[in-house]
């Protein structure tokens, strides 16, 4: 069982009176992140001995890097209510920013392609990414406009979060990234990740990565402009529960169930090696394509196989686990058949008293998958590892506060 780790308490600054008004504004914006970093550096326990980092560990991410303004409330407000927050945090966010921060803390060399403005928020986004070891050399800074930001309402009662996003301006376009910068960004990269924001630029980066045979992972959180084009280049896809099944909303697979939708995706996208659907507290389901043809002549219903695997789950175990099938011919009624393996990854059972905020949990999961792919982890190891990292992120307010470092004792069983 993983060791329970409690981060040290972070002191609260009581006065900013000694700072100038401009410095005070900048300090307030990212003070919480600085304090978190200092607290992690002051760990009283010696770091456990770890195996070497993956030899090929450079990853490139293209997508959103924003400021998150998080307000936790006792309960979500009703229309026209006036309520007070129970806590407030301002820190960097955005799917790509979060996933790359996670990957960097785990030991990867992360590069980011994104765009911010030359304002206090934009400078804060850059500084925070750099403090976590993310290479911002390819992040475009506009002299004018505004950096993107998101208001996040965290409901302490229902354990949900609501995001209200304001895009940055001017938006990123392919011309913002010169050919030499694009070439340098992809040089030496092991894996490229897209969250499907900045889709026009993302497509140019994907084409360059594809030309160089660099594997691509797509975060298909939901239907976005440019997603279909990017999926044609994908080797790996991680979906939210909202994609790809809800055909009445997004007109994608028209599948009646999650496992049938996964079969449909592998049939429609022949380059994809695996698809994962994350299901929150219910864990995840993964379908991996088999390279070799299955010797078994009988086809098995993918929905029936999923139910069989569910019966093998140990309901008494609180730590993440993985249950898998052998290589099988999997049939989705009305869709077709693929040869592959089906996996169920369980989530950690977090005690209600420890569950603080699920903001960015999916990004943490993806950051861990990026590491697992670079490290050559098997799916049986990768899925519990990613679930453990995501669970750690849910124990603190904000997407990045709870992201674990490679030395975190909870991750020791995976290294």
Domain-located, residue 72 = no
Distance CA 227, CA 238 (A): 13
Q: Please state, rounded to an integer, the average pLDDT across all residues of the chain.
A: 86
Which residue has 């990853």 as its token pair?
Answer: 59
Q: What is the pLDDT of residue 100?
A: 98
Q: Report the alpha-carbon distance of residue 6 to residue 40 in Å, rounded.
A: 11
Decide if pLDDT at 398 tops 80: yes
Residue 51 lies in a domain: no
User: Which residue(s) pair with 191 in the sheet?
Assistant: 59
* pLDDT recorded at residue 293: 65
- Per-residue pLDDT at 45: 55
Confidence of residue 186 (pLDDT cuts 50, 70, 90): very high
pLDDT band of 46, cuts 50, 70, 90: low
- Predicted TM-score (pTM) of the model is 0.85
What is the average per-residue pLDDT within 176-183?
A: 96
Q: What percent of the chain has pLDDT over 70?
A: 84
The rounded distance, in Å, linking the Cα atoms of 357 and 86 is 13
**Whether pLDDT at 311 is above 50:** yes
- For residue 102, being part of any structural domain is answered with yes
Q: Is residue 411 part of a domain?
A: no
Predicted local confidence at residue 224, as pLDDT: 83
What pLDDT does 48 receive? 60
Tens digit of pLDDT for each residue in 252-301?
556 788 899 999 999 999 999 999 999 999 999 999 999 776 666 688 99
Distance in angstroms (rounded) separating the CA atoms of residues 14 and 153: 24
Pairing of strands 191-194, 58-62: parallel
Domain count of the fold of the chain: 1
Is residue 13 domain-resident?
A: no
How many angstroms separate the Cα of 260 from the Cα of each of 102, 105, 333, 383? 31, 35, 8, 20
- Is 154 inside a domain boundary? no
Give 284 or 316, the one with higher predicted confidence.
Answer: 284
Average pLDDT over residues 142-162: 93
CA angle at 398 for the pair 25 and 316, rounded to the nearest 5°: 165
CATH of the domain at 204: 3.40.1190.20
Of the pLDDT bands very low, low, confident and very high (cuts 50, 70, 90), residue 2 is very low
- Residue 282 inside a domain? The answer is yes
Distance of CA 68 to the CA centre of its chain: 15
Residue range 85-111, pLDDT digits in tens: 999 999 999 999 999 999 999 999 999
pLDDT beyond 90 at 41: no
68 has a pLDDT exceeding 60? yes
**Residue whose pair of structure tokens reads 């099944």 in the numeric block:** 245
d(CA 153, CA 267): 39
Range of the domain at 276: 57-65+96-144+171-406
For residue 133, being part of any structural domain is answered with yes
pLDDT at 43: 45
Residue 254 pLDDT: 67
Q: Please give the pLDDT value at position 218.
A: 97
């Amino acid at each position: 069982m993983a060791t329970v780790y409690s981060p040290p308490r972070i002191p609260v600054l009581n006065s900013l009176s000694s700072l100038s008004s401009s410095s005070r504004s900048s300090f307030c914006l990212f003070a919480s992140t600085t304090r978190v970093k200092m607290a992690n550096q002051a760990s009283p326990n010696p770091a456990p001995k770890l195996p070497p980092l993956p030899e090929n560990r450079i990853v490139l991410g293209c997508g959103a890097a924003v400021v998150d303004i998080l307000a936790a409330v006792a309960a979500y407000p009703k229309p026209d209510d006036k309520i007070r927050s129970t806590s407030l945090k301002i820190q960097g966010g955005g799917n790509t920013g979060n996933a790359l921060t996670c990957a960097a803390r785990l030991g990867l060399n992360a590069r980011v392609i994104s765009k911010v403005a030359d304002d206090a928020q934009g400078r804060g986004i850059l500084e925070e990414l750099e403090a976590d070891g993310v290479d911002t050399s390819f992040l475009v800074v506009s002299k004018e406009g505004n950096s993107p930001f998101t208001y996040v309402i965290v409901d302490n009662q229902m354990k949900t979060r609501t995001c209200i996003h304001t895009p940055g301006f001017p938006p990123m376009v392919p011309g913002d990234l010169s050919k030499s910068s694009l070439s340098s960004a992809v040089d030496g990269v092991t894996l490229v990740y897209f969250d499907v924001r900045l889709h026009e630029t993302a497509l140019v980066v994907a084409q360059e990565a594809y030309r160089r045979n660099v594997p691509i992972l797509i975060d298909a959180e939901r239907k976005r402009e440019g997603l279909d084009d990017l999926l044609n280049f994908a080797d790996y896809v991680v979906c939210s529960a909202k994609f790809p099944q809800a055909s009445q909303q997004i007109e994608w697979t028209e599948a009646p169930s999650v496992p049938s939708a996964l079969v449909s995706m592998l049939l429609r996208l022949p380059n994809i090696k695996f698809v994962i659907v994350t299901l929150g507290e219910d864990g995840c389901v993964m379908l991996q394509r088999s390279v070799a043809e299955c010797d078994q002549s009988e086809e098995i219903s993918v929905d029936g196989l999923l139910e069989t695997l569910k019966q093998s789950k140990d309901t008494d175990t609180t730590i993440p686990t993985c249950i898998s099938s052998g290589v099988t011919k999997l049939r989705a009624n009305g869709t077709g058949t693929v040869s592959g393996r089906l996996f169920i990854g369980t989530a950690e059972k977090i005690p209600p008293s420890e569950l603080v905020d699920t903001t960015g949990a999916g990004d943490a999961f993806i950051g861990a998958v990026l590491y697992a792919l670079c490290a050559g982890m098997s799916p049986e190891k990768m899925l519990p590892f990613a679930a453990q990292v995501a669970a750690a992120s849910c124990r603190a307010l904000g997407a990045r506060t709870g992201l674990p470092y490679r030395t975190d004792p909870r991750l020791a069983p995976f290294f």
